[in-house]
Amino acid sequence: MDVCFGGTFDERVVKMAGRNRNDIYSYLDAITFISNKLKYTTLVYITSGGKKEVPDGYSGQHSPFALRLLEALRTEGGKNGFLTATEIFAFVQTLPSAPQFDNFGHHEIGGEFMLVPLKE
């Protein structure tokens, strides 16, 4: 939905604090984005499949899921410098094994699991 107050469609969003943006067409810098996400409890999972057996791949090679997961990790977060669970899922979601991605438990709306590579 591209509508005003569209987030109120979900009661969980209604309970969140208001947005804090300086320019509606700009992107947050990485530090601000990460800082904003760290305010929320994040409990997410990505699985290689649903209720069916998933392929292990060929002997001596990674499974299809692990191969795509490694591809995601090798991007080292691309231009943003961090990798979110949502971005990782984008690498695996089209596998025939039907990978799953969702949140569970006390996950707060607005939270995001992130991997941030260490820079020396």
Domain-embedded: residue 89: yes
Cβ-contact 16, 109 below 8 angstroms: yes
Taking only the tens place, the pLDDT of each residue in 41-77 is 999 999 999 888 888 889 999 999 999 999 999 998 8
The domain in which residue 108 lies consists of: 25-115
- pLDDT greater than 80 at residue 6: no
Establish how many alpha carbons lie within 13 A of residue 87's alpha carbon, considering only the half-sphere containing its beta carbon: 20
What pLDDT is attached to residue 120? 65
Q: Is residue 120 part of a domain?
A: no
Q: Which residue has the higher pLDDT, 10 or 29?
A: 29
Residue 110 lies in a domain: yes
Residue 80: per-residue pLDDT: 85
pLDDT in tens, 10-20: 676 666 655 55
72-110 residue pLDDT tens: 999 988 888 899 999 999 999 999 999 999 999 999 988
92: nearest Cα among 57, 53, 66 = 66
Query: What pLDDT was estimated at residue 78?
Result: 84
Domain for residue 18, yes or no?
Answer: no
Tell me the CATH number at 32.
3.30.70
Q: How much is the pLDDT for 23?
A: 61
Domain count, the chain: 1
Residue 27: per-residue pLDDT: 80
Phi, psi of 64 (to 5 degrees): -55, -40
Provide the pLDDT for residue 99. Answer: 94
- 3-state secondary structure at position 46: strand
Q: Domain for residue 5, yes or no? A: no
